[in-house]
């Protein structure tokens, strides 16, 4: 890989995440990098980010587990249960660790709307766990829309009073990976960068520039239709979905080139508007997702 | 001398769940299942555009998001009086099949296998108990399949994305079917993956589950429960194909009859809700939350059919469709899930053969000023229902009863326990300090507590949290 | 033709930036910067392509110049946000010659972007057309709907970004 200039577009589907990851793995083999402990905390959300993470291809979950991190805690995947599981979580705090959090932090009733387990016979709330683990983590990744800004868990009227992770850890640096869910490459590529080079360069909203630098609109294959004012009037049409409510023009992320699930498709490729799931403010600021009453048929180009 | 066992968190499920059991002379004599997180989706949906419900409700659950898009689009079709083209039904059901495959493969290998197989590759799989019975070569083989399976669950999601845009939280399922059109390229893309997944199921997954069953034979006698089975129907009602899997049926004490949706009630005697009556139809207004209520212990309400608790899911479907008759137990449930995975590949193959390329099933939809609708269908974990009302072109009411609400319901005024609670009663516990049995039985239901508890309105104050 | 001039300035700026990036790449020792610089180069090229297509379109169709665009200042900063004016399909443009049309708040409220109506909003007493503005998909913008006065919202979210307004077609004044 050394010295090779990467064409920025034609290879981006797999390029950034795979390149960083394979370099990280090579370095690991040469013992340049030590596997780091990772605590993966699920809070108030749908656990969709860890499901998306299992969809990782280059690397896949097995690779990540065996070659990149020591996964100390994961509610969805660990074999231990009950207090033994919580013991593992508490014990992991003794050493250095990277903390990844998916889901929002529910504040209502002192966090009792989201209990993640029993610790010493008392309920351990997501709020307690986020603060306690966040304070001691060497690096923090807020994974998915709920963790970065509250997301769907905080949608109006926000019955659980959910907030993003930063709100309960106001002084901690964290890398934010919005998306509903996060793309496995955004998470694993960022993790690889952390292991290889330290924290990646981020924008003023803490998003890694390597994934979140460019508006969907600016790389949308349907952009020529927008520029010529040719708009879809229903889902399934092949033209610009702007009039149906497409949030590509306000969403910065690399979906048009990266695409999803082995890079085979993405929402606009499926003839539906982008709903801005990787933009702060999702879902309320991105609603309505689909409108039919603003469409007009433009007969002449 | 009785003893209480509280397991919190019950790991390897979707969402957060606590189980509180009482044992006497090493047998379970009482059990309560509790959900431990609340988001209040039904409140969030009020005031939103009805069209947004399809994408919004998917966010209830990361592992079964397509299920909610299915139920939601069915409910909207009912409310908007739209009958999808048959091609739309086929395409949408193919997406649903992909989710079954992803969900079942992951539930079996990532959530169930670590209960029975000692995976030694990584400290993540260290367990509390040491009841591992497989011979070493078999244990090692299935351990390796834990990792091999990831490729196939991932490919199942890839097939879903070919038609649905992305997964989890797809964009393709919508009113009228889906948003894209079949092409030869997409059909062969999907079919070529399907062939590989089907081979994995035949050569690895089915032998694995029978090997586990052979060495854990006692689990055929545990986790039975009431034995009432229910399905809203799955892959049925096709105009030309008829029923590919199972029609809407219920079975009580072994007698099977046609399902009638007017017989569903939701009881709240032991759930944190107050209402004038403790029993409501699903399309009636959502009850008020009340955490101070005497006797209440969970957010999960108690759906009942003709006043009885019912089991839903793969085992219920296989038995009701006549394809399985070994019995009802924790191990039967796990075997049924694996056998159903194979069944789904066969259904998907048939649906793929029906596709006509290039048919755009989408229309420009208009909202009625007011209306109501419901979408009832069986999804991965069982019977899922969405009920909605529209007023002034906005959602004015939304109610969701998920499969895990059926299986993990609270008890009721008639003294019936929830289905999973009852399934635990009588279970012999070998070692009360390291109880492997409880988790194994509960996971056989594939609990999705993201679904079961996210949807209900939250209350005011948690008064007491029971601890040891 | 101030618009064209603005585009020319922008292309010049992008070309200068691209020259600089190529120079940086040629002398780069820290390879971790490479992806970002390549990314920026790519973005610059894409923008140049869009701008040149727009210019070509202009030349081909003799696009009518909106009166508003001569009376408002050309944005100076913030160039990499690519402030391209929305390219409105000309046959359906509802506005006529004058940007002096007046709107009451009640009249403004009818321009919601729905059912074939254009989408208008007001900021600081001026009414703008956002029908085809890219940040106003389906006539909504971060939870705001068209047909209203958003003076306060603009001030709180886009302080110091008057250039945004300069890219919007003016249709009149709020009275």
pLDDT of residue A61: 93
- Residue of C35, C90, C119 to mutate for A, most A C-beta atoms under 10 A: C35
Task: Give the whole-number percent of chain C exceeding pLDDT 70.
Answer: 76
The domain ranges of chain C are 2-63, 80-174
- Residue of C137, C144, C147 to mutate for A, most A C-beta atoms under 10 A: C137
Print the domain residue range for A275: 216-286
Per-residue pLDDT band for C23 (boundaries 50, 70, 90) equals confident
Facing residue for A80 by CB, picked from B126, B172, B454: B126
Q: Which of A26-40, C107-121, C127-141 has the lowest mean pLDDT?
A: A26-40
The domain ranges of chain B are 2-454
**Residues B194-219, mean pLDDT to the nearest whole number:** 98
The verdict on A119 and A21 lying in the same domain is yes
- The more confidently predicted of residues B252 and C5 is B252
pLDDT tens digits along A112-153: 888 899 999 899 999 999 999 999 999 999 999 999 999 999
pLDDT tens digits along B78-89: 999 999 999 999
pLDDT of residue C161: 87
Quote the mean pLDDT of chain B. 91
Q: Is residue A181 part of a domain?
A: yes
* Burial of B358 from C-beta contacts in 10 A (0-12 / 13-18 / 19+): exposed
The verdict on A224 and A265 lying in the same domain is yes
CATH number at residue A235: 4.10.480.10
pLDDT for residue B298 is more than 50: yes
Q: Is residue A242 part of a domain?
A: yes
Quote the mean pLDDT of chain C. 77
What is the nearest CA distance from C147 to chain A, expressed in angstroms?
A: 13
Task: Give the whole-number percent of chain B exceeding pLDDT 90.
Answer: 80
pLDDT of residue B264: 93
Per-residue pLDDT band for A19 (boundaries 50, 70, 90) equals confident
d(CA A192, CA A194): 5
Cβ-Cβ pairs closer than 8 A, A with C, add up to: 98
d(CA B367, CA A73): 47
Interface of B with A in 311-340 (CB under 8 A): none
The verdict on A147 and A247 lying in the same domain is no
d(CA B200, CA B109): 12
pLDDT of residue C97: 45
**Sheet with strand B229-231: strands edge to edge:** B229-231, B249-252, B255-258
d(CA B358, CA B378): 28
**Residues A214-228, mean pLDDT to the nearest whole number:** 96
pLDDT tens digits along B443-455: 999 998 877 664 4
- The more confidently predicted of residues C63 and A85 is A85
Task: Give the whole-number percent of chain A exceeding pLDDT 90.
Answer: 80
User: DSSP string covering A152-179, please?
Assistant: GGG-TT-TT-EE-HHHHSTTS--EEE--
pLDDT for residue A103 is more than 90: yes
pLDDT tens digits along A53-97: 999 998 999 999 989 999 999 999 999 999 999 999 999 999 999
**Residues B11-26, mean pLDDT to the nearest whole number:** 92
pLDDT of residue B268: 80
| A287 Cβ under 8 Å from any chain C Cβ | yes
CB contact under 8 A, A76 and B48: no
Chain B partners (3+ C-beta pairs within 8 A): A
pLDDT of residue B38: 78
pLDDT for residue A289 is more than 50: yes
Cβ-Cβ pairs closer than 8 A, A with B, add up to: 270
Q: Is residue A254 part of a domain?
A: yes
Per-residue pLDDT band for A204 (boundaries 50, 70, 90) equals very high
Dihedral sign from CA coordinates of A274, A278, A282, A283: positive
- CATH code of the domain made up of B2-454: 1.10.645.10
Per-residue pLDDT band for B352 (boundaries 50, 70, 90) equals very high
**Residues A273-289, mean pLDDT to the nearest whole number:** 97
CB contact under 8 A, B166 and A112: no
Q: Which of A55, A88, A98 is nearest to A193 (CA)?
A: A98
The verdict on A233 and A250 lying in the same domain is yes
pLDDT for residue B404 is more than 80: yes
Q: Is residue A22 part of a domain?
A: yes
The verdict on A220 and A237 lying in the same domain is yes
- The more confidently predicted of residues A48 and C21 is A48
pTM of the complete model: 0.85
Query: In terms of CA atoms, which chain C residue is nearest residue A289?
Result: C138
pLDDT for residue C111 is more than 90: yes
pLDDT tens digits along A238-273: 999 999 999 999 999 999 999 999 999 999 999 999
- The more confidently predicted of residues C123 and C19 is C123
Pick the CATH number of C80-174 from 3.40.50.720, 3.40.50.800, 3.10.120.10, 3.40.190.10: 3.10.120.10
Of A211, A229, A250, the domain-final residue: A211
Of A186, A211, A236, the domain-final residue: A211
d(CA B395, CA B76): 11
Looking at the structure of chain A, the number of domains it has is 2
The verdict on A127 and A246 lying in the same domain is no
**Residues B182-193, mean pLDDT to the nearest whole number:** 98
- The more confidently predicted of residues C9 and B57 is B57
**Residues C98-112, mean pLDDT to the nearest whole number:** 87
CATH number at residue A101: 3.40.50.700
Per-residue pLDDT band for B40 (boundaries 50, 70, 90) equals confident
Using a threshold of 3 CB pairs under 8 A, tell whether chains A and B touch: yes
pLDDT of residue C63: 47
Facing residue for A81 by CB, picked from B9, B106, B158: B9
pLDDT for residue B34 is more than 70: yes
| A57 Cβ under 8 Å from any chain B Cβ | yes
- List Cβ<8 Å contacts ≥24 apart for A118-125: A118/A82, A118/A83, A118/A86, A118/B6, A118/B8, A118/B18, A118/B467, A119/A83, A119/A86, A119/A90, A121/B467, A121/B468, A122/B465, A122/B467, A123/B8, A123/B465, A123/B467, A124/A86
Interface of A with B in 144-183 (CB under 8 A): 151-153, 155-160, 162, 180-181
pLDDT of residue C69: 42
Q: Is residue A128 part of a domain?
A: yes
d(CA C117, CA A294): 8
Interface of B with A in 5-24 (CB under 8 A): 6-16, 18
Q: Is residue A9 part of a domain?
A: no
Per-residue pLDDT band for B287 (boundaries 50, 70, 90) equals low
pLDDT of residue B286: 62
């Amino acid at each position: 890989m050394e010295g090779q200039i990467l064409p920025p577009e034609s290879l981006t589907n797999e390029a950034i995440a795979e390149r960083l990851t394979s370099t990280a793995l090579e370095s690991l083999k040469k013992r340049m990098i030590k596997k780091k402990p990772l605590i993966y905390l699920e809070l108030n959300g749908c656990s969709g980010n860890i499901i998306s993470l299992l969809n990782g291809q280059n690397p896949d979950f097995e690779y990540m587990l065996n070659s990149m991190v020591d996964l100390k805690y994961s509610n969805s995947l660990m074999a231990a249960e009950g207090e033994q599981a919580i013991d593992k979580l508490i014990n992991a705090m003794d050493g250095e660790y990277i903390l990844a959090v998916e889901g929002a932090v529910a504040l209502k009733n002192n966090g009792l709307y989201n209990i993640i387990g029993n610790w010493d016979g008392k309920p351990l709330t997501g709020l307690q766990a986020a603060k306690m683990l966040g304070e001691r983590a060497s690096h923090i990744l807020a994974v998915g829309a709920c963790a970065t800004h509250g997301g769907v868990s905080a949608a109006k009227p926000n019955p659980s009073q959910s907030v993003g992770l930063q709100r309960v850890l106001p002084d901690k640096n964290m890398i934010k990976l919005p998306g509903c869910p996060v793309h496995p490459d955004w998470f694993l590529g960022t993790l690889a960068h952390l292991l290889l080079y330290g924290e990646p360069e981020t924008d003023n909203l803490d998003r890694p520039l390597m994934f979140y630098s460019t508006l969907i609109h600016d790389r949308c294959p349907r952009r020529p239709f927008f520029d010529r004012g040719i708009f879809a009037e229903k889902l399934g049409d092949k033209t610009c979905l702007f009039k149906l409510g497409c949030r590509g023009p306000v969403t910065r992320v690399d979906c048009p080139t990266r695409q999803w699930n082995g890079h085979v498709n993405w929402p606009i490729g499926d003839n539906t508007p982008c709903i801005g799931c990787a933009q702060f403010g999702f879902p309320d600021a991105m609603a309505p997702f689909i409108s039919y009453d603003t469409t007009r048929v433009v007969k002449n180009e | 001398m009785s003893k209480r066992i509280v397991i919190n968190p019950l790991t390897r499920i979707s969402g957060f769940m606590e189980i509180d059991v009482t044992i006497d002379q090493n047998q379970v004599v009482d059990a309560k299942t509790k959900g431990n997180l609340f988001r209040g989706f039904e409140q969030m949906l009020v005031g939103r555009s009805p069209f947004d419900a399809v994408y919004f409700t998917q966010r209830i659950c990361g592992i079964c998001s397509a299920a909610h898009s299915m139920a939601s689009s069915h409910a909207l079709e009912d409310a908007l009086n739209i009958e999808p083209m048959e091609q739309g039904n086929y395409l949408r059901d193919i997406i649903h099949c992909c989710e079954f495959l992803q969900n079942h493969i992951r539930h079996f290998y990532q959530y169930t296998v670590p209960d029975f197989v000692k995976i030694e590759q990584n400290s993540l799989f260290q367990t509390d108990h040491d009841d591992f019975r497989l011979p070493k070569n078999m244990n090692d083989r299935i351990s390796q399949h834990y990792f091999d399976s990831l490729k196939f669950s991932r490919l199942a999601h890839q097939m879903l994305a070919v038609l649905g845009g992305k997964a989890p939280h797809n964009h393709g399922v919508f009113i009228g079917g889906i948003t894209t059109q079949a092409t030869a390229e997409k059909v062969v893309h999907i079919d070529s993956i399907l062939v590989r997944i089907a081979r994995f199921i035949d050569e690895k997954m089915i032998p694995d589950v029978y090997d586990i069953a052979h060495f854990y034979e006692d689990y055929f006698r545990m986790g039975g429960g009431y034995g009432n089975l229910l399905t809203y129907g799955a892959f049925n009602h096709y105009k030309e194909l008829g029923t590919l899997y199972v029609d809407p049926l219920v079975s009580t004490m072994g007698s099977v009859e046609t399902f009638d949706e007017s017989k569903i009630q939701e009881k709240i005697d032991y759930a944190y809700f107050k209402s004038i009556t403790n029993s409501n139809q699903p399309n009636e207004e959502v009850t008020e939350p009340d955490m101070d209520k005497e006797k209440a212990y969970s957010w999960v309400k108690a759906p009942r059919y003709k006043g009885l608790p019912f089991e839903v899911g793969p085992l219920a479907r296989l038995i009701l469709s006549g394809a399985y008759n070994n019995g009802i137990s924790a191990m039967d449930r796990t075997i049924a899930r694996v056998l159903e995975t194979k069944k789904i590949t066969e259904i998907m193959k048939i649906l793929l053969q029906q596709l006509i390329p290039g048919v755009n099933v989408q229309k420009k939809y208009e909202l009625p000023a007011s209306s109501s609708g419901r979408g009832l269908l069986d999804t991965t974990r069982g019977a899922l229902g969405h009920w909605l009302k529209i007023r002034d072109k906005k959602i004015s009411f939304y109610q969701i009863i998920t499969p895990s609400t059926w299986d993990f319901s609270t008890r009721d005024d008639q003294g019936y326990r929830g289905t999973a609670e009852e399934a635990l009663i009588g279970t012999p516990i070998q070692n009360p300090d390291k109880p492997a049995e409880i988790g194994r039985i509960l996971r056989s239901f594939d609990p999705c507590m993201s679904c079961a508890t996210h949807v209900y309105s939250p209350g005011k104050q948690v008064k007491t949290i029971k601890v040891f | 033709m101030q618009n064209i001039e603005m585009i020319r300035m922008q292309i010049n700026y992008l070309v200068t930036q691209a020259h600089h990036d190529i120079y940086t790449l040629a002398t780069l020792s820290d390879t971790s910067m490479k992806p970002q610089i390549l990314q920026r180069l790519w973005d610059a090229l894409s923008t140049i392509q869009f701008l040149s297509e727009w210019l070509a379109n202009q030349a081909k169709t003799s696009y009518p110049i909106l009166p508003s665009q001569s009376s408002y200042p050309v944005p100076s900063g913030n160039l990499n946000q690519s402030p391209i004016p929305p390219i409105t399909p000309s046959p359906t443009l509802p506005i006529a010659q004058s940007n002096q049309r007046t709107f009451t708040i009640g009249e403004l409220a009818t321009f919601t972007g729905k059912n074939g109506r254009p989408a208008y909003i007001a900021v600081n007493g001026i009414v703008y057309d956002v029908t085809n503005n890219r940040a106003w998909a389906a006539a909504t913008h971060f939870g705001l709907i068209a047909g209203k006065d958003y003076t306060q919202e603009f001030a709180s979210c886009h302080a110091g970004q008057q250039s945004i307004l300069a890219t919007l077609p003016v249709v009149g004044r709020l009275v």
